[in-house]
Chains A and B, each alone.
Chain A
Amino acid sequence: MTEQDRYQQVKKKAEERAKELFKPLPKEIEEELESESTLGNPENLVRPDNQEE
């Protein structure tokens, strides 16, 4: 598979995935996402890699 083929394949998959992801959310979840201004933990950016993963 060429890089261009790979790009097109990923693009097509992304279009389908976007349809799933951007479906209307339950009100409760929508409110949670609107109220949270951060997700995840910045500490993980500086923690060393687990070399077994």
Chain B
Amino acid sequence: MQASHIATISKYDKHRAEAREIAEASLPAHLKGVLNISGISHRELAAFKCWQVMPERKVDWNWLFSARYCTVYPKAFDMSVWRGNTLCSLSLGRPTYKGTEMRLDFIERLPKNCQYAGEMFTISLLAYEIYGELIGAKKLRIMEPLNDKLIKYYTSHGGFEFVDSKKGNPHYLVRNL
């Protein structure tokens, strides 16, 4: 690995840690001190193994991939949410090639009995916006928000615009930071 690549990872590690710290400090009163925000490391990947055997799980995505993700994409953002010793959600995203927009690519939460299930997306959204701000991105994208109801809600209430898929690029919601 080149020295410049290592330096970039280190620089963005600082921003990743700051974004998680600010997001956690910004949580509303009923979540502050209850949920903890972290990255994705050995601890999260060990906890994720419990998700893999849950029949309620809707995807077959292997989060072990994330261990390499921030090395391949040193400006990427990885995040987990914990409640005590329970892993509640995992998410990954990266800036666009030119770094002008931050992408939230994928979130998965505990497939069953997830307390605060409805707030996991909002927590991730907040943290990704903060990270986007810290790295100088101008916009935040939610890539492929599959659910039409959510698209409608966030375009009418959340300040997002819908961008349809084109030239092989998937559709997304985008908001100015």
Whether A44 touches B103, Cβ cut-off 8 Å, given contacts A14-B22, A21-B122, A37-B56, is yes
Residues in A with CB closer than 8 Å to B111 are 37
Instruction: Tell me the A2-53 residues at the B interface (CB within 8 Å).
Output: 6-7, 10-11, 13-15, 17-18, 21-22, 25-26, 28-34, 36-42, 44-46, 49-53
Number of interface residues of A (CB under 8 A): 35
- The number of residue pairs between A and B whose CB atoms lie closer than 8 Å in the complex comes to 129
B130, A53: Cβ atoms closer than 8 Å: no
A22 to B133, CA, bound (A): 19
In the complex formed, the residue of B with least CB distance to A19 is B28
B22, A33: Cβ atoms closer than 8 Å: no
Q: Which residues of B come within 8 Å of A, CB atoms?
A: 18, 22-23, 25-28, 31, 56-59, 61, 65, 69, 92, 94, 96-98, 100-101, 103-111, 114, 117-122, 125-126, 129-130, 133-134, 142-147, 149-150, 153, 167, 169-170
Q: Which residues of A come within 8 Å of B, CB atoms?
A: 6-7, 10-11, 13-15, 17-18, 21-22, 25-26, 28-34, 36-42, 44-46, 49-53
Q: A18-B26, A34-B117, A39-B106 are in contact. List 18 more A-B contacts (CB 8 A).
A: A6-B134, A10-B22, A14-B23, A17-B26, A18-B126, A22-B122, A34-B118, A37-B110, A37-B114, A38-B106, A38-B107, A40-B105, A40-B142, A42-B106, A44-B106, A49-B97, A50-B167, A53-B96
